[in-house]
Structure 1
Amino acid sequence: MNNSIMAFVLLLFLLLIRYSNAEEGAFDVRKHLSTVSRYGAVKDIADNNFVPSKLPEGCVPIHLNLVARHGTRSPTKKRIKELDNLAARLEVLVREAKERSLPLERVPSWLNGWKSPWQGKRKGGELIIKGEEELYDLGIRIRAKFPDLFDEEYHPDVYPIKASQIPRASASAVAFGMGLFSGNGSLGPGHHRAFAVTSESRASDLQLRFHDCCHNYKAYRKSQEPAVSKLKEPILDEITSALIGRHGLNFTSQDTSSLWFLCKQEASLLDITNQACSLFIPTEIELLEWTDDLEMFILKGYGKSVNYRMGVPLLEDVFQSMEQAIMAKEERHASGSFEKARLRFAHAETIVPFSCLLGLFLEGSEIKKIQKEQPLQQPPMPPQKRKWRGSTVAPFAGNNMLVLYRCPAPDRSISKHFVQVLHNEHPIPMPGCDGSDFCPFELFKEKIVAPHQKHDYRSVCNPKLELEPSGSKFSQIFQWLFSPAKGLLSVLD
């Protein structure tokens, strides 16, 4: 037995000890699906060691920023094809098992004649009904939680709603708006009202799809994807061996990867947990979940600074909206003449970097490493505990809310504006604000926003030109033409 196999066996043994003390049936796979997790299954998972701040008496919310991921969606066209290929592969495996006279009890009955639920679909990736409900219900809950912010007559300048140009994001924005403004209009039995949702072109959306416009990020991701696959290999290989041992079928690592994807889709979209998911024991599911979380860390999160620095335009937009809200209050603008909430709907590739810019889900003193631009350790493997989990960082409909409060301040030396961050509707500590969820506005600006503002989007994302000296006319013209904010891209937009 080689060292890697011995290490894996020891790891499984430790995980089994962990579950031996748990009540039978307590493990819910729907809470372990990384970013494929449905919002309702994971939204109330929180850090039990953190005690939220008690808001000072007299504090009132004056503005809200929301950055939300789209709701639960169907598999993409590429993934639908993968599931069709899996169906053909399972048919071969079952036929081979019969030819070898493998005992029937070793072959799960659902494998016989299994076909993908999405067989025959020509397109994919659209918001499904469960996803619509997630955002609709979120809109209702936010209005109930902050009634003073949503007491104005609707106007697109008071409640701007923005979505990326991808249909599942704009559909999520519509579902949210229907919940938020339900009962405030005259349309249909639900008394709905019309509202505007605006989008930027994918070619120039630096706030909600900055990853599409960032050349350096795309180059980094392409270079790292093979390495990430290599990191996953030992886990997939050992789980594949375990599956072969349990069921006698000649599974490959690719089969295991596709079956894990099927498990996530069945459990999240269809509430089916007794088919593909039942092939894996809980310890294996936790390891597979960790591989997904590791991939998210490396390709979308703290694994590389470009992952989140490209999101600085979004952070600046959030911060500027707060400054404008403070100015409107200070200058006593008339009610209905200033913005009270800015609502955005996008993707995991948006909310993950934005969470990193806020410094969320860091362990211990990691915030100091981020500020010093030092690399972070990868998320620890189970059974070790970790904060970085895709199921809580960016599930379907996952969201960050930044609520700006105005508080009584008789002493001018005391801040009268505070920022509270809610992740998936729950207060969450900000390491940059000394671990509090309720941060003085000036401290929020100094410790969280300002350190990132030194990284300009263009310098972070554009490749360095070496054809001509940086000050040459050619270089200046080239940069102007291909800048996302102006030149050729804006003409194409």
Structure 2
Amino acid sequence: MDPSVLTCLIGVLFVVVLIDAQRRGECCQDYCYNSDDERQQSAHFASKTSYLVVKGPETGKQYVVPNCNPVKIWIYSRHGTRLPESDTISRLSQLGDLRDEIIDNYEKRHSKPTIGQMCEADLNLLKEWQWNRNITANYSEYLTVQGWDELKFLAIRFQRFFPNILENIYDREKFLFRYTNSQRTEASYKAFVEGLFGPNAYQHVEVPPLPINDTLLRPYDYCLPYENKRSKGDGSEYKKFLKSQTITQMLSDVSARLGYKYPLKLQQVTDMFEMCRYDQAWNIDRPSPWCSAFTPTQINDLEYMEDLQKYYKSGFGSKLNSRIQCTAVNDMLHHLDTNNLPKTIAYFTHSKSMLLLLTALQAAKDSDSLRADNYYSMSQRKWRTSKITPFASNLAVVKYDCPNELERDKVIFFLNEIPIFFDWCKVGLCNWKDVKQRYKEFTEVNCDKYFCDDSGASSIFSTIVSVLVPLTSIIFLKLMT
């Protein structure tokens, strides 16, 4: 028999078995979200994870280096918790219809499973859910109150632990701030500055004008080969995972748990997951009703689905990804290489930029690549967007002066207030000369050409884009004046 035909038959048989299990009233493990005090799955919401769930300890011990003094800092931060995109708002606002169906499944159709059903507390939690009608497309991707507080209190903590670097009085010679052309990054910058200098401090802080070509904070916008990469297309690991037995089983189990006799569509399940994790990020201290639809295992499946896509779009799944943040790495190396002012540089950007920067630095790199067929063996993976790029994720690179050491200049890379333990550093403490040696590829090239060099024909596209983008921007500005 043809192997492809055999594979198809096995897949059909698997689906039939799942449907039969649903008919018999079987689902998944019994789990009550509302009575789970730990809710550890909230730390596995991929890029929509709340920063407060995964950040480092507030004791500040991780910043103390015996006989060394911190002298400079370079911060690269994602914006805080935000509202969804406009198309997501449109879908999530319609979840009330699905919620009503689920309640009917339990109370009228009596189609809930005998094993793995929602507990009464979870069902009641879901009954009370209402979409916030103040969240409209007009405010899509805006920073939330929670997002503001994440950046504000991050600044307060940094200032508490590095008072000689992050002084509480603004001096334009000592501080440099920048953000992208978006409300959420600008608001994140304002919140951070408020944490350092007090309410409305941003009104007195000087920020350089937005550049026409922002290859420091949004380099992917100027690289056509990157934009053309298909991390979700046919044949991609992401697509293979969607067609795997793991996802088929997950869809069947979630559907059965909610009282359906047939599998829900993937979009319906991912919309519930979106609402679950957004709501939890907005309201960190109270359970999110839509999270009750899932068991912790199902959350892990959905997390890996996003991790796979981002691994190939912005991670180690493509060689080009390690070059795109050339300008940012150069900026970091240049800033920390001398004791000149400013003491503090803080940039506010997006998750894609964060992932590409970590890829350039070879941080969060696993010994094996993420694939659809090794999901279970990658449960302890380093590439976990929940941990490396939650809302308000940040990389703080701190330079220390260690006068008693042979190598006086040291550096520690802190990701979300946790030291990164590179194998070429001593328990996270790196010699500055080793840092420069490790990343010399970025200082020995012209980043304007190197950052989008995908070799061969695609490099021609990068050249065209590097010419056309600034040219069209200039034309546009002239037309507007």
The answer, yes or no, to whether TM exceeds 0.5 is: yes
Task: For 1:104 and 1:427, locate their aligned partners in 2 and report how far apart those are by CA, in whole Å.
Answer: 45
Q: Which residue of 1 aligns with 2:360?
A: 357
Confirm or deny that 1:32 pairs with 2:35.
Answer: no
- Using the TM superposition, give the Cα deviation of residue 109 of structure 1 relative to its aligned residue in structure 2, in angstroms: 4.9
Paired residue secondary structure (2:204): coil
1:345 to 333, 343, 348: 348
Which residue does the alignment assign to 1:211? 220
Cα offset, 1:478, TM superposition = 5.7
Aligned pairs for 1:86-485 (under 5 A) are 86-91=95-100, 100=109, 102=111, 108-109=123-124, 115-118=130-133, 121-123=136-138, 124-151=140-167, 153-182=169-198, 194-198=204-208, 200-201=210-211, 204-221=213-230, 224=233, 227=236, 228-234=238-244, 235-249=246-260, 250=262, 251-271=264-284, 272-273=286-287, 275-323=289-337, 325-326=338-339, 328=340, 338-363=341-366, 366=367, 376-378=369-371, 381-382=375-376, 384-408=379-403, 414-431=406-423, 433-434=424-425, 436-450=427-441, 453-454=444-445, 456-461=447-452, 481-482=467-468
What is the deviation of 1:456? 4.0
Displacement of 1:465 in angstroms is: 8.9
Q: Which runs of 4+ in 1 moved over 6 A?
A: 51-54, 95-99, 103-107, 462-467
Distance, in Å, in 2 between the alignment partners of 1:245 and 1:340 is 57
Q: Deviations over 1:51-91 (max 9, x none)?
A: 9797351x222211000110111112111012134334455
Deviation at 1:405, TM superposition (A): 1.7
Q: How does 1:29-108 map to 2 (within 5 A)?
A: 29-44=41-56, 55-57=65-67, 59-91=68-100, 100=109, 102=111, 108=123
Q: Per-residue deviation at 1:459? A: 4.6
Runs of 5+ unmatched residues, structure 1: 10-14, 329-337, 367-374
Give the residue type in structure 1 aligned to 2:414: L
Q: Deviations over 1:253-288 (max 9, x none)?
A: 221121111111122213453521111111111221
Q: Given residue 133 of structure 1, which amino acid in structure 2 is its aligned partner?
A: D
- RMSD over aligned Cα, in angstroms? 4.0
Conservation of the 8 A alpha-carbon contact between 2:321 and 2:360: no
Percent sequence identity over matched residues? Answer: 21
CA distance in 2 between partners of 1:192 and 1:32 (Å): 34
1:195-254 CA-partner distances (Å, limit 9, x unpaired): 1334525x5110101111111100014674883244234343211211233333242222
Per-residue deviation at 1:125? 0.8
Summarize the Cα distance change of 1:445–1:301 in structure 2 as closer, same or farther, 3 Å threshold.
Answer: same
Q: Distance in 2 between matches of 1:118 and 1:62?
A: 48
Identify unmatched segments of 5+ residues in structure 2: 1-8, 19-27
Partner Cα separation in structure 1 for residue 335 and residue 278 of structure 2: 37
Distance change in 2, residues 1:206/1:224 (3 Å)? farther
TM-aligned CA distance change 1:150 to 1:31, over 3 Å: same
Report if the CA contact (8 A) 1:36-1:395 is conserved: yes
Give the deviation of 1:32 after TM superposition: 1.5
SS at match of 1:418: strand
Q: Please give the secondary structure, in 2, of the residue aligned with 1:200.
A: coil
Per-residue Cα deviation, 1:314-365 (whole angstroms, up to 9, x for no partner):
1111111122x33x3xxxxxxxxx21111101110111111122221223xx
- Pair 1:461–1:477, CA change in 2 (3 A): closer
Question: Which residue is 2:22 aligned to?
Answer: none
Secondary structure of the 2:365 match is coil
Q: Output the CA distance in 1 between the equivalents of 2:112 and 2:370.
A: 46
Q: CA deviation at 1:157?
A: 3.3
| Structure 1 position 391, deviation (Å) | 1.6
The alignment partner of 2:184 has SS state of helix
Assess, with a 3 A threshold, how the Cα gap between structure 1 residues 135 and 479 changes in structure 2: closer, same or farther: closer
How far apart are the structure 2 equivalents of 1:162 and 1:283? 40
**CA deviation string 1:135-173 (max 9, x = no partner):** 111111111111111348523232011011111001000
> Is 1:239–1:256's contact at 8 Å kept on the other side of the alignment?
no
Counterpart CA distance in 2 for 1:283 and 1:305 is: 32
